[in-house]
Amino acid sequence: QVQLQESGPGLVKPSETLSLTCSVSSGSMNSYYWSWIRQPPGQGLEWIGYTHYSGSAEYNPSLKSRVTMSLDTWKKEISLTLSSVTAADTALYYCARHKAGASNAFEIWGPGTVVTVSS
């Protein structure tokens, strides 16, 4: 069973850029879409965006101007960068693999990594 593991700095200063990485334990990355999803403390889930090995990517319209995602099949990593962060970006960030096919569901999740935006 493939496993995902997010990693990142933990603490980011306001106005700076957040960079996170999701490592994939095994299997091919080529057949799947990969999303980032976040959850502010005590709140619900928010989809950030997805990327695919073909190079396609789509982002949440509310974050689109600040988000970039990419996929490195050699390193088996998915990256997320979020620029100009504010306290509102403080959250638990998850990466997730979509279910194969066109089901548009998030089948496998990492444990998440906490990001706090504070000076």
Interacting residues toward other proteins by CB under 8 A: 35, 37, 44-47, 50, 58-62, 94, 99, 103-107, 109-112
Asked if 107 contacts 51 with a C-beta cutoff of 8 angstroms, the reply is: no
Q: With respect to other proteins, which residue has the nearer C-beta, 53 or 109?
A: 109
Q: With respect to other proteins, which residue has the nearer C-beta, 65 or 103?
A: 103
Q: How far is the CB of 11 from other proteins (least distance, A)?
A: 20
Q: How far is the CB of 118 from other proteins (least distance, A)?
A: 21
Give the chain's length: 119
